[in-house]
Amino acid sequence: MSAAELLVDETPITRMESLVDPGTLHLLRTAVGDGVVAGSGRVNGRAVFCWAQDGRFKGGSLGAAGGETITRTFALADRAGAPVVCFPESGGARVQQGAAGLSAYGAIFRAEAIAKVPVISVVAGACAGGAAYGAAVGDLTIAAGDDVKLFLTGPRVVEEITREKVTAIDLGGVKVHSANGVIHLTSDDDHDAAQLVREVLGYLPARLGDRPPTALPREPIGGDPRDVLPPSPRQVYDVRDVAGRILDGGELLEFCPRWARNLVTGLGRVDGMPVGVLANQPRHLGGTLDVRAAEKGAWFVNWCERMSLPMVVLVDTPGFLPGTGQEREGVIRYGAAFLRAFARATVPRVTITLRQAFGGAHIVMNSRDLGADLTLAWSASRVGVMGARQAVEVVGRRELAAGADRMALEAAYEIERLDVGVTAGEGYIDEVIEPMETRGRIAQALGAFT
C-alpha cells in the first residue's frame, strides 16, 4: 500500500475524527506524507492539533518527510496555543534512510519536549525504539486497548543479545507499563481513548501558563467524609472514597492506578475549579511512602505545576517504608525529588491531614513549611515525629524500665505531642476542621489563591 493510499485510508484519519468535534477536522497535509497525517480541529469548541501514523506503511517506520510533518504540527500548535494529541504507531526510524530517520526523531523529541501546549499521546498499536520515547516524552500517555506494546528493543533483538525469550506483550505490554508509570491511562479501544482525551483536555489549559477552564459546580456524592474512616486507626480504607465526598460529582479521574498503589493521583473539580488530587492510599502498604510512591508523587506535582493546576493533598501516612531494600533503591534521592517538587511548585496547594502524618512523610506531603498555601487537619487526626508507641520507646525508656504502664505513657504522649490541636496551636497547621467542612474550606482557599 502506497503512502498516497494511506493518506485517504480511514484508519489514522478515523482516530483523529473520533477525537475532534464532528465536522471540524481539517488536514494539514493531503499529499504524500510518508505514512503520517496531521490535522487541526476542535474539542468541545476549543482548538486542538493532532497527527497520526499508519503502522501498515513500512511498519510505521519514520522517515524524513513524516518527521517534518510532525514537527510542523508542533510548531503550528505552539503558534495557535492549542494542545497536541499524537497517535504514534511505529517500528522506529526507517533503516533505509540511515541517519535521516534518527535526525527526524531527534527533532520530534525536541519539539515535543519544548512545546508550550499540553501534549497527549494515544498508543493503539506498537511503538518501538524512538517511537517509544516519542510516546513518553509528552505530558500523558494513554493506551488504546490491550494490544498496545512499547519497548526500546523488540523481542527478536532481546533474544539475540541476551538469549532471553519473551513475547512482545510480556516485554512491553499494557500491564508492564501501567505498573511502571510509562502509561498513565488505559482504555478499551481507539474510540474510548479519544473520549478519554476529550475528558482530560477539559481540565487543562490550551496553552501552558494559562488558567485551566472552570465548569459548573456539582455537589459531591456520599455524605460526610468522616464516615469513610474506620473506627480503629489500624484499619485501612480507600482514600478515593474520601475524595469522592469532596470532589464535584464524586468524580476522580485517576492517573496510574497500577503504579505505586500506595499513592493516588488524578484530576477532579472542587466547586467547578479543576484540581490535581494527590493522596496517600491506606489500602496499600498502609499508606506508607516508598521509592515508587515518591517517584510518582514528584512526577505528578511537576505535572500539575506544568498544567497550572491547583492541588488538593489528602494525607494519611505513618511515614516512609523502612528497610534495606528501600535504602538500596535510593529512597533518599526519590524522597528528595518529591519534596523538591513541592518546594518549587507555585500553583495553589491545600493539604488536609485525614488521620495521621508522621515523620519525614508529614513534611514531604505538602507541609506548610514546603509552601502549602493552606494546611488543614481533621479534628481526630494526629501529627508528629512518630506514633505514640514508637515515641514511648525513645522518650520513655527509663519509665518503662522502672515498670511504668506503657499504655498510660502512650496516652500521655498522644495528648501532649500528637494531638492536632497542639500542633495547630504551635503554628504548624493552619486550622483544625471537621470533615464536613473540608470541601467548603478548599473551595474558599482556591477561590482566594487562583
Strands 374-378 and 431-433: parallel
Distance CA 16, CA 51 (A): 8
Task: From the candidates 41, 130, 319, 335, give the one annotated as an active-site residue.
Answer: 130
- End-to-end distance of the chain based on CA atoms, in angstroms? 53
CA nearest to 382, candidates 317, 448, 290: 317
Residue 414 is given by DSSP the state: I
Is 101 part of the annotated catalytic residue set? no
> b or e along 134-163 (b: 16 or more beta carbons within 10 Å of the residue's beta carbon)?
bbbbbbbbbbbbeebbbbbbbbeebeeeee
Q: Which of the following is catalytic: 35, 125, 129, 154?
A: 129
Active-site hit among 330, 336, 360, 380: 360
CB atoms within 10 A of CB 418: 21
Q: Can you tell me whether residue 204 is helix, strand or coil? A: coil
Of 361, 377, 388, 391, the catalytic one is 361
How far apart (Å, rounded) are the C-alpha atoms in residues 8 and 296? 41
Indicate the residue type of 181.
G
Q: Residue 130 catalytic?
A: yes
The three three-digit cell numbers of residue 302, written as one number: 511537576
CA-based nearest residue to 259, from 196, 184, 193: 184
**What single letter denotes the amino acid at residue 23?**
G
* DSSP 3-state of 201: helix
Catalytically active residues, by annotation: 129-130, 360-361
